[in-house]
Amino acid sequence: MVRDHFAILKVGPAATFALREALYALCQIEEELLPAHATSQLMQVLDDVMLAKPKNWIKHYLGTPDEQRLMRRYGLSDRCRYYWGEPAVAA
């Protein structure tokens, strides 16, 4: 959106939540249709990047490592929105 000079960049959690859910659904379809080596593995890549750079979620997702993993993946506060521009995620 920045690259296309879109005037409104702060679209709020509802839009980014919907984007995340749509992309995760596409990942699940991808996993059903393609061999494992041909999938994007987006959900895992995103989680790996979030673990490597926790500053945008660590204060928001408390609990055990398993609870934090679930929140990173499915949390309503959608902290993953800060990671879509990371090179590994974008790829």
The whole-number pLDDT of residue 55 equals 96
The pLDDT value given to residue 70: 94
* pLDDT for residue 43: 94
Listed as ranges, residues in the chain with pLDDT below 50 are: none
Helix extents (H) in the chain: 13-33, 42-52, 65-74, 87-90
What tens digit of pLDDT does each residue of 32-43 get? 999 999 999 999
Question: What's the pLDDT score for residue 22?
Answer: 95
pTM of the model: 0.80
Structure tokens at 12: 């709020």
Q: Which pLDDT score is estimated for 1?
A: 61
Distance from C-alpha of 38 to C-alpha of 36, rounded to nearest angstrom:
5
Question: Which domains are present in the chain?
Answer: 13-90 (1.10.400.20)
